[in-house]
Amino acid sequence: MEVLAFLIPFVLVGVAVIYMAMSGGPSAAREAYMTRGGRGFRVGIALLYLVLGVGVPALTLANRGEAAGDVAGLRDEPLTATEEQGKDLFRQTCASCHSLDAINARGVTGPDLDEIGEVTRERILGAIENGGTGQGRMPAQLLEGEGARAVAAYVSKVAGR
C-alpha cells in the first residue's frame, strides 16, 4: 500500500506532463482546461489536488509505524517499580551516551543498546561495573547497588524490541 501511495503521485505528474506536451505546452494546456474542460474535469482536478495534497501525506504518516521507530508496544507494556526506577535512572545517567528506542534516547558516544546483540541483566551490570568493556570509554561504576540493578532490569527488558 505504501508503494502505491508513493508511486501514484509520480504517475499522475507524468500524465499531467504528457497532457501538457500533447496540448502544445503549459499555456495551451491551461487554455484547453479553461475552455474545453467541463465541470466534471474541474471537479476531478480539485479532487486530485486534495488526494495528492492531503491524502497521500496522511496515508504515509499513518503507515510509518515501526519503520520510524514505533515503540508503542513498549509504552503500553507495564513496568515493575524496579524497572520504572531503572527507566528514570537510564534517562538521567545513560541516555546522553547510549541510544535506546524504548525511550527515544539518541546518545552520541556509546553503543546503540538495541543493536549490540543479546542484552541480559548480567551483561548490563558488568558494563556498569567495569565501564563498558573495560577499555576506558565509559566511566566505571556510574551507578551502584540498587540503581545499577534497576537500570539492568529495565534495559534487559526493552533493548532490541
Query: How confident is the chain (161 residues) per 10-residue block, as mean pLDDT?
Result: 76 77 72 68 73 75 58 68 88 88 84 85 88 80 88 87 72
Per DSSP, what are the bridge partners of residue 112? 99
How far, in Å, are 65, 93, 139, 141 from residue 124 at the CA level?
A: 29, 14, 14, 11
| pLDDT at residue 68 in the model | 47
CB distance 113 to 159 below 8 Å: yes
CA distance 28 to 122: 73
CA distance 126 to 41: 69
CA distance 71 to 52: 29
Task: Pinpoint the residues of the chain covered by CATH 1.10.760.10.
Answer: 73-158
Which of 116, 122, 121 has its CA nearest to residue 100?
Answer: 116
Homologous superfamily of 73-158: Cytochrome c-like domain (1.10.760.10)
* Amino acid found at 123: R
Phi first, then psi, for residue 99 (nearest 5°) are -95, 140
| pLDDT at residue 132 in the model | 78
Tell me which H or E stretch contains 39.
Answer: helix 39-50
CB distance 124 to 155 below 8 Å: yes
Other CB atoms within a 10 A radius of the CB of residue 153 amount to 21
CA distance 149 to 143: 9
